[in-house]
């Protein structure tokens, strides 16, 4: 067996681990990973060397590696894509035996995620996600759409996606959420997506899905709160409109931020045009955020995210 370099030289180790596939004289190095490994822990010397060494000694091929150390907190993050045949528990056991106390290790297969989408009446985010899901632009299966109105039912049915209308009228919030939860539990969803779902979720509901609910909203919060934020923004004469995608926690709109973007507007835009521009940004930001989530590119630490794009 070839020995590892004596110093933790990650470039040299990647050279040993990389296997080339020769076809017609071409070298193909862009391979699909079988596994995605995510590790975060207090930083110390030699972490990259130790982690990649475990993969090397199990005859596994690293396809991509990203690491980051937060110099403020002294915390280490690493995401590794690798391929090969192995027993996951063997890899996990080897890693736990040499990494610091308090380490978080997630080893996942490169598989399509299942999602349930919650929406209300606005179609722009839902329609975009249904198209992207149907054409595999996003690594997800849309299992169902749940709404408190039937406005979007025909849209979901065009994509042969089950639609569940759970009205909120004449129900208190807890009763309505219990009914929504009962519907969601019919499906093996990895994530819930709030595609302009205009209901405030309680901490009791979100506690069922820690770091598994993704929301999109306009980036005027907390400045313009309410049902017509773009009209308020127009009246104020704002010069940018934007959107924020984030994980949902007990504070709803204050969860860890995944993706944000803005576009510039000026005095020539009407309130209607400004709202349309905002909707365009919202659906793009949500799609970009979901790509990161579905590809296991995100770490969450202290209500912040570390993302390897």
pLDDT on residue 223: 65
pTM score, whole prediction? 0.86
Task: Give the C-alpha separation, 301 to 219, whole Å.
Answer: 22
pLDDT on residue 30: 53
Task: Name residues of the chain where pLDDT drops below 70.
Answer: 1-31, 220-227
pLDDT on residue 224: 66
Establish whether 253 is a catalytic residue. Answer: yes
pLDDT on residue 10: 46
Catalytic pick among 34, 66, 70, 253:
253
pLDDT on residue 220: 60
- Taking only the tens place, the pLDDT of each residue in 88-100 is 999 999 999 999 9
- % pLDDT > 90, the chain: 74
Long-range CB contacts for residues 128-131, cutoff 8 Å, separation at least 24: 128/283, 128/286, 128/287, 129/193, 129/195, 129/286, 129/287, 129/290, 130/155, 130/156, 130/158, 130/159, 130/161
CA 68, distance to chain mean position in Å, is 18
Structure tokens at 142: 């849309």
Domains of the chain, each with CATH number or no CATH: 10-109 (3.30.70.260), 113-300 (3.40.50.170)
Asked if 49 and 41 count as a contact pair (C-beta separation under 8 A), the reply is no
């Amino acid at each position: 067996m070839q020995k590892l370099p004596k110093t933790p030289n990650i470039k040299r180790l990647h050279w040993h681990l990389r296997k080339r596939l020769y076809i017609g004289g071409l070298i193909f190095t862009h391979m699909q990973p079988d596994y995605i490994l995510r590790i975060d822990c207090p930083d110390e010397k030699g972490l990259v060397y130790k982690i990649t060494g475990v993969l090397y000694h199990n005859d596994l091929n690293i396809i991509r590696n990203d690491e980051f150390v937060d110099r403020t907190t002294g915390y280490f993050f690493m995401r590794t894509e690798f391929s090969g045949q192995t027993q996951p528990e063997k890899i996990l056991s080897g890693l736990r035996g040499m990494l610091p106390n308090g380490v978080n290790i997630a080893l996942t297969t490169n598989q399509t995620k299942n999602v349930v989408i919650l929406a209300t009446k606005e179609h722009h985010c839902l329609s975009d996600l249904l198209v992207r899901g149907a054409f595999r632009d996003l690594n997800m299966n849309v299992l169902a759409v749940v709404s408190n109105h039937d406005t979007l039912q025909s849209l979901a049915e065009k994509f042969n996606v089950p639609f569940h209308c759970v009205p909120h009228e004449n129900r208190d919030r807890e009763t309505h959420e219990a009914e929504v939860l009962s519907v969601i539990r019919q499906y093996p969803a990895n994530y819930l997506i709030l595609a302009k779902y205009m209901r405030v979720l309680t901490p009791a509901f979100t506690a069922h899905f820690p770091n598994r609910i993704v929301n999109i909203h306009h980036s005027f919060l907390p400045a313009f709160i309410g049902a017509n934020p773009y009209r308020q923004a127009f009246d104020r004469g704002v010069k940018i409109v934007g959107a924020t995608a984030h994980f949902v926690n007990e504070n709803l709109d204050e969860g860890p931020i995944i993706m944000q973007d803005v576009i510039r507007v000026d005095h020539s835009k009407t309130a209607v045009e400004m709202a349309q521009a905002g909707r365009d940004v919202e659906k793009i930001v949500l799609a970009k955020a979901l790509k990161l989530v579905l590809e296991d590119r995100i770490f969450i630490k202290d209500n912040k995210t570390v993302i390897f794009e």
